[in-house]
Copies of this chain bind each other. A is one copy, B any other.
Amino acid sequence: MVVILKNNPNQKQLDNLIQWLKSLDIDIHISQGRNTTILGLIGDTSVVDIDLISALDIVEAVRRIQEPYKNANRKFHPEDTVIDVNGAKIGDGSFQIMAGPCSVESKEQICSVAESVKRSGAGLLRGGAFKPRTSPYAFQGMRAEGIELLLEAKALTGLPIVTEIMDLSQLPLFEEVDVIQVGARNMQNFELLKELGRTSKPILLKRGLANTLQELLMSAEYIMAGGNGQVILCERGIRTFETATRNTLDISAVPLLKTMTHLPIIVDPSHATGLSKLVKPMAMAAAAVGADGILIEVHNDPMHALCDGQQSLTPEAFDDLVQSISHILPYAYKEQTK
């Protein structure tokens, strides 16, 4: 961390600042220039509150040099984290496909989709039981019953299941769930993240609509700081001025995150674009840049998809998508991270 002082700082305040920093076990190097004095802070600066220092009268600006995340940082953990979900591995160099309907609607629907996506090559089944919807008047999901139906589909097909939690009060219902998903709107629901850090389940953490990659890693850090290192990051599009797509898929996030962290990274092309015709090319882009997998919406009947129908594929289109990806995977980008 670098602290740039204002011209002619009050010496007493400066002494106070230096003394306080030393009490936090921070070493300080002073660079005295013609117009500017710079303090170089050396040590574990993740404990230093950047806003607090910025607020001081004698300080012009503060610049962080080291990343504020530790457990998620590849610098301190150079080896890739591999997550094993009942045998389905994520982050080991393979490409895991998680597929299923936006919302669980009935036993027939979820079982039929599960069998179909398994046949096409999906390694995990996804489906929404609790649905975050912008409108209180829209379908809110089958909730507890939806999780039970997912478990029936799991029993039938053997596919591990991924489903979203919306509040920590729902956690007891997730005992048999294999991967707990944290949605984009909950990426900074810190109480939920803390609680998930105390579980031993893999967490699929989606990037918020307006969150930076560093913030995504800080949210992963919340989970990891609680003792749960099994975090799967998910890029699902960010909010920009462009209205032709629902969000803008930041595909460069994948190779960039690979340099920042050792955690696996998957891509959700369905929510990112909001247009089913873009799901296939964006899934192919995800494969090309070296993602560890994708999350795809598949439904078995468009007129009955109760929500987010626009971004869903039919089983046939999904099968075609998996084929298209399989050609690209052998030639996908691999970051030289070591």
Contacts and interface: CB of A to CB of B under 8 A. Distances in A.
Nearest to A4: B65
A166 interface: yes
A11 to B, nearest CB: 16
A40 interface: yes
Given A136-B194, A281-B290, A52 B242 contact: no
A189 interface: yes
Contact of A31 (B29, B238, B330): B29
B190 A212 contact: no
**Size class of the contact patch on chain A:** 35 or more
B281 A333 contact: yes
A65 B42 contact: no
A249 interface: yes
Contacts of A310: 51-52, 54-55
Interface string A222-263: 100100000000000011111111001111101110010000
**Which of A43, A136, A287 is packed against the most chain B CB atoms within 10 Å?**
A136
A338 interface: no
Query: How many copies altogether?
Result: 4
Given A136-B221, A137-B225, A42 B33 contact: yes
Contacts of A38: 2, 29, 40, 65
Interface stretch (A120-128, A198-206, A269-277): A269-277
A306 interface: yes
A152 interface: no
Contact of A333 (B40, B132, B213, B280): B280
19 contacts: A31-B42, A35-B42, A36-B42, A36-B66, A38-B40, A38-B65, A47-B137, A49-B138, A49-B306, A56-B302, A136-B190, A136-B218, A210-B210, A212-B241, A248-B248, A249-B252, A252-B281, A281-B289, A284-B288
